[in-house]
C-alpha cells in the first residue's frame, strides 16, 4: 500500500510538472517543431496525471474493501461489495481534470476552407492575434487562410522544402492567384518544393473586407481635391465596418507575423520566400524580422522601401511614361504592327484630341450574350486603360491593336478592351480597395512635411519632378488619400533591412511601376544579393525561361550567380497579331481574320483555359471556346461569326491558342472551307465564291 501511495504521488506531482513545462514550451514556441515538442511533453504530463489518478482510485478501492471486510467480521453478516462505480468516477474525474488543464495548449485541428483551388491544393487556416504587438496574453484572434501545393517529386534525402509566395497589391488575393502563380514557376520548383500561398489579413478568405461603393466613386473622380480624398477615406472606412482603433492591424508588420505563424503551422524550420511587387515589401520586412527562418529570398519587381512614398510613386509615374514610349517604339520595329499602325505616336495624339474635343469615345460593342451595347470611354478611363496595358507584353500588344483599329476608323477595339478589363464582362476578383489603402497608409507617412494631412505638399513632389500628364499625375497620387487616413505612422523612417540572407533580385528593364532602378538600389545595399535583369519584359519576370531557370537554380541548389548583375533577353511587346481585313476579299482574309481576332480577343487572352468562354464577334455572331485538358488546345465553335464585312462564318473544330495549330471546318454563304495545320503551316481548302481553294497561308 505504501509503495502504491508513493507511486501515485510521484505520478501525480511529476505529471503536473511535465504539463506545466509542456504548456510553457508550447506558448513560447517559435516554430512548428517546438510547438509539437511542447505538446508531446504536455501530453506525457497529462498521461502521468491520469496514471496517478487511476492508481489513487485503486488504493481507495483497496482501503474500502479492507474496511468492508472488517465490518463484516464484526457484524457477522454479509455486506455487499462495492461495484466499479467509485473508482471509475475517480478515474474519469482525473481524466477530466487533465483535459481541462491541458486544453489551453491542445493542438487545434486544421480547418479546410473552400479556397476554390483544384484538388492538388490543401487549404488551411491559422488563428493569429488580431494585433501581434498587443501585450495582452489572451488577445483577440483572427483567421488567416493559406493553401499548400505539395511537391510532386520531392528530392530524396532532403527534408521537406517550402516556397512561400507573397503576392502583389496590397489587397490582392494570393489564393485566387494560386494556380496562376504556380503555373509561372519552373516545373523543377513545383516538383521539389511545397508551394504555399495565402490571403493577407483583410483580403479574401482572411477576413476580407472592402469598400467597393466608396472606391468606385473615388476612381471616377478626375481631380484629387482635399474634399474628394477625405470623402473617400471616411466612406471607405465606414463601408468596410472597421473601427478606427483597429486600422493599424492591417500594416505590413502584422502580415509579416501572420506569415511567421503560417511557417510555424507548417512545421517548417526554414522556408524560401518569393515576393512580387508589393509582395517584395512583405518579403523584405519578413527577412528583417526573421532572417534565421529563411533559406533564401527572391524579390521580383521589387519596391525600394528606402524611398519616401511620394518619391516612390513619382518614380512609378515616370516608369509608366517610359514604358508607353518603349511600347510605341516596339510597334515601329514589328513589321505587322508597323503595317497596321504606321505612326503610333500620332495615332495616340489623335485619341487624346478626340477625347479632349468631345469628352468621350463611344461605339456599339458585341457582348458574349449576343446583345450589342453602346459603350463610352472618357479621358480618365482611357488613361486607366493605357497604364494598365503597360504591365505585360501581351497587354501592350492588345493596346496597340486597339490603337490600330482606331487608326482605321474603328473605335470598337478600345471600347472592347476597356469592357473586357473593367466592364460588365470582366470576372470579379478578390482584390480589396480597403486593404490596399489600409496597408499602405498604416505602413508609411505619406505627407512629406510636418503636417500629417498636407495633400498639397504630397502632390507638389510630382509637379516639382516635372510630371504633368493627367494620367501620370494619377499614378503619382496613388497613395495620396493616406494623408487623411486616421492610422498612419507619426514620422517617416527608413525600414530596417536584413543582412546575411541570400537574395536573388529579378527585374525587367521595361517595368512600368517598379522600374529597374529600384532593383539596382536594393542590390547596392545588400552584399548577399544578385540581380537578374530581363531586357524588356513587364511587371514581374517569371514566365520566361531565362529568369525562371535562374530562380530555380537558386531556390533548389542555393546557387547565386557569380556576377552582381546578369542579363536575360526579353521583349517589349508580344508579336503583333494582324487585324482582320475588312471587307474580306478572299477566303484567306475571312479565315485568318476570324482566327487571329479570336486568339487576340482580350477575354481570350485572359482566359484560364478551363471553363467555356463565349465572346462577341465585332461584326456579328458569337464564338465559343472550350478547354480540352490538353494544354491550350481548345474546341472552337463559331455561330455566324464575322470580324470582317462579308466574312461571316459558322464553324467548329480544334484550335491551339499557343501554337495556332488548327483543324476546323467553316460554312458560309460564300462557300465551305477546311483549315488544317501541317508542319506548322496552315493549309486551306474548299470552295469560296464558287471558286476552288487550295493554298498555304
- Sorted by sequence, the CB contacts under 8 Å of residue 332 that are 6+ apart come out as 338, 344
Residue found under cell 528593364: 509
Note the pLDDT tens digit of each residue in 50-80: 445 434 444 434 434 433 333 333 333 333 3
- For the cut 90, the answer to whether the pLDDT of residue 136 exceeds it is no
Nearest in space to 594 (alpha carbons), one of 647, 520, 544: 647
Tell me the DSSP string of 153-214.
SPPTTSPP-EEEEE-STTT--TTTTHHHHHHHS-HHHHHHSEEEEEPPTTSTTTT----HHH
Cβ of 581: how many Cβ atoms within 10 Å?
18
- For the cut 50, the answer to whether the pLDDT of residue 268 exceeds it is yes
Cβ of 490: how many Cβ atoms within 10 Å?
7
Residues in a beta bridge with 508:
534
Nearest in space to 418 (alpha carbons), one of 430, 436, 405, 431: 405
Residue 374, helix vs strand vs coil: strand
Residue 638, helix vs strand vs coil: strand
Residue 239 C-alpha cell reads as 463601408
Domain extents in the chain: 2-105, 122-207+246-308+493-569, 587-696
442 — phi, psi (to 5°)? -75, -20
Note the pLDDT tens digit of each residue in 335-378: 999 999 999 999 999 999 999 999 999 999 988 888 889 999 99
Predicted pLDDT of residue 663: 96
Sheet containing strand 565-569, strands side by side: 122-129, 141-149, 194-198, 162-166, 271-276, 294-300, 503-508, 529-535, 565-569
Residues in a beta bridge with 197:
147, 165
Distance of alpha carbon 489 from alpha carbon 481, whole angstroms = 14
Q: How many CA atoms lie within 13 A of 333 on its CB side?
A: 11
Note the pLDDT tens digit of each residue in 138-191: 889 999 999 999 999 998 988 889 999 999 989 999 999 888 889 899 999 999
CATH class of domain segment(s) 122-207+246-308+493-569: alpha beta
- Percent of the chain topping pLDDT 70: 83
Please give the model's pTM, rounded to 2 decimal places.
0.82
Residue 583 C-alpha cell reads as 471587307
Give the model's confidence band at 429: pLDDT under 50 very low, under 70 low, under 90 confident, else very high: low
Amino acid at each position: 500500500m505504501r509503495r502504491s501511495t508513493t507511486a501515485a504521488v510521484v505520478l501525480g506531482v511529476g505529471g503536473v510538472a511535465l504539463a506545466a513545462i509542456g504548456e510553457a514550451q508550447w506558448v513560447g514556441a517559435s516554430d512548428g517543431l517546438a510547438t509539437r515538442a511542447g505538446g508531446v511533453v504536455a501530453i506525457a504530463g497529462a498521461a502521468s496525471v491520469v496514471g496517478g489518478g487511476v492508481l489513487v482510485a485503486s488504493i481507495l478501492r483497496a482501503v474500502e474493501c479492507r474496511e468492508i471486510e472488517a465490518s463484516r467480521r464484526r457484524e457477522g453478516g454479509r455486506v455487499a461489495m462495492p461495484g466499479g462505480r467509485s473508482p471509475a468516477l475517480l478515474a474519469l474525474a482525473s481524466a477530466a481534470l487533465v483535459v481541462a488543464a491541458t486544453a489551453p495548449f491542445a493542438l487545434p485541428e486544421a480547418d479546410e476552407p473552400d479556397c476554390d483551388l483544384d484538388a492538388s491544393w490543401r487549404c488551411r487556416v491559422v488563428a493569429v492575434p488580431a494585433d501581434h504587438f498587443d501585450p495582452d496574453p489572451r488577445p483577440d484572434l483572427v483567421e488567416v487562410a493559406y493553401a499548400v501545393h505539395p511537391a510532386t517529386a520531392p528530392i530524396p534525402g532532403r527534408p521537406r522544402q517550402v516556397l512561400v509566395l507573397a503576392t502583389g497589391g496590397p489587397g490582392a488575393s494570393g489564393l485566387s492567384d494560386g494556380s496562376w502563380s504556380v503555373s509561372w514557376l519552373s516545373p523543377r520548383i513545383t516538383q521539389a518544393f511545397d508551394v504555399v500561398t495565402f490571403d493577407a489579413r483583410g483580403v479574401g478568405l482572411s477576413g476580407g473586407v472592402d469598400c467597393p461603393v466608396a472606391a468606385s466613386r473615388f476612381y471616377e473622380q478626375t481631380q484629387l481635391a482635399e474634399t474628394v480624398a477625405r470623402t473617400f477615406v471616411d466612406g471607405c472606412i465606414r463601408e468596410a465596418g472597421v473601427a478606427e482603433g483597429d486600422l493599424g492591424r492591417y500594416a505590413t508588420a502584422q502580415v509579416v507575423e501572420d506569415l511567421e505563424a503560417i511557417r510555424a503551422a507548417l512545421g517548417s524550420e526554414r522556408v524560401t520566400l518569393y515576393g512580387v511587387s508589393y509582395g517584395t515589401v512583405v518579403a523584405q520586412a519578413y527577412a528583417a524580422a526573421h532572417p534565421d527562418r529563411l533559406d533564401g529570398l527572391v524579390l521580383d519587381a521589387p519596391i525600394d522601401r528606402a524611398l519616401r512614398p511620394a518619391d516612390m510613386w513619382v518614380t512609378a509615374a515616370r516608369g509608366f511614361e517610359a514604358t508607353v514610349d518603349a511600347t510605341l517604339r516596339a510597334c515601329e520595329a514589328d513589321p505587322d504592327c508597323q503595317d497596321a499602325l504606321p505612326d503610333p505616336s500620332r495615332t495616340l495624339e489623335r485619341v487624346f484630341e478626340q477625347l479632349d474635343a468631345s469628352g468621350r469615345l463611344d461605339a456599339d460593342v458585341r457582348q458574349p450574350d449576343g446583345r450589342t451595347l453602346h459603350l463610352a470611354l472618357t479621358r480618365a478611363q482611357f488613361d486607366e486603360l493605357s497604364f494598365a496595358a503597360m504591365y505585360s507584353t501581351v497587354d501592350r500588344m492588345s493596346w496597340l491593336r486597339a490603337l490600330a483599329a482606331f487608326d482605321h476608323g474603328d473605335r470598337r477595339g478600345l471600347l472592347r478592351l476597356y469592357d473586357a478589363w473593367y466592364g460588365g464582362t470582366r470576372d470579379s476578383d478578390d482584390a480589396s480597395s480597403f486593404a490596399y489603402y489600409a496597408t499602405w497608409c498604416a505602413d508609411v507617412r505619406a505627407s512629406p512635411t510636418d503636417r500629417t494631412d498636407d495633400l498639397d505638399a504630397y502632390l507638389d513632389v510630382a509637379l516639382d519632378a516635372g510630371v504633368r500628364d493627367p494620367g501620370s499625375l494619377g499614378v503619382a497620387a496613388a497613395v495620396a488619400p493616406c494623408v487623411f487616413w486616421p492610422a498612419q505612422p507619426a514620422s517617416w523612417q527608413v525600414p530596417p533591412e536584413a543582412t546575411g540572407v541570400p537574395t536573388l533580385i529579378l527585374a525587367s528593364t521595361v517595368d512600368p511601376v517598379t522600374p529597374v532602378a529600384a532593383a539596382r538600389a536594393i542590390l547596392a545595399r545588400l552584399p548577399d544579393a544578385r540581380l537578374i535583369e530581363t531586357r524588356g519584359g513587364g511587371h514581374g519576370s517569371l514566365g520566361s525561361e531565362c529568369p525562371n531557370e535562374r530562380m530555380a537554380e537558386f531556390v533548389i541548389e542555393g546557387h547565386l550567380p557569380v556576377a552582381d548583375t546578369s542579363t536575360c533577353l526579353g521583349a517589349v511587346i508580344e508579336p503583333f497579331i494582324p487585324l482582320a481585313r475588312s471587307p474580306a476579299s478572299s477566303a484567306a482574309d475571312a479565315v485568318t481574320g476570324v482566327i487571329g481576332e479570336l486568339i487576340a480577343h482580350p477575354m481570350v487572352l485572359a482566359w484560364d483555359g478551363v471553363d467555356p468562354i463565349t465572346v462577341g464577334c465585332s461584326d456579328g455572331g458569337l464564338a465559343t471556346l472550350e478547354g480540352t485538358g490538353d494544354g491550350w488546345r481548345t474546341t472552337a465553335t463559331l455561330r455566324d461569326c464575322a470580324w470582317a464585312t462579308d466574312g461571316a462564318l459558322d464553324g467548329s473544330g480544334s484550335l491551339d491558342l499557343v501554337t495556332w495549330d488548327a483543324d476546323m471546318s467553316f460554312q458560309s454563304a460564300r462557300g465551305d472551307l477546311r483549315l488544317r495545320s501541317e508542319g506548322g503551316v496552315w493549309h486551306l481548302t474548299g470552295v469560296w465564291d464558287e471558286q476552288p481553294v487550295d493554298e498555304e497561308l
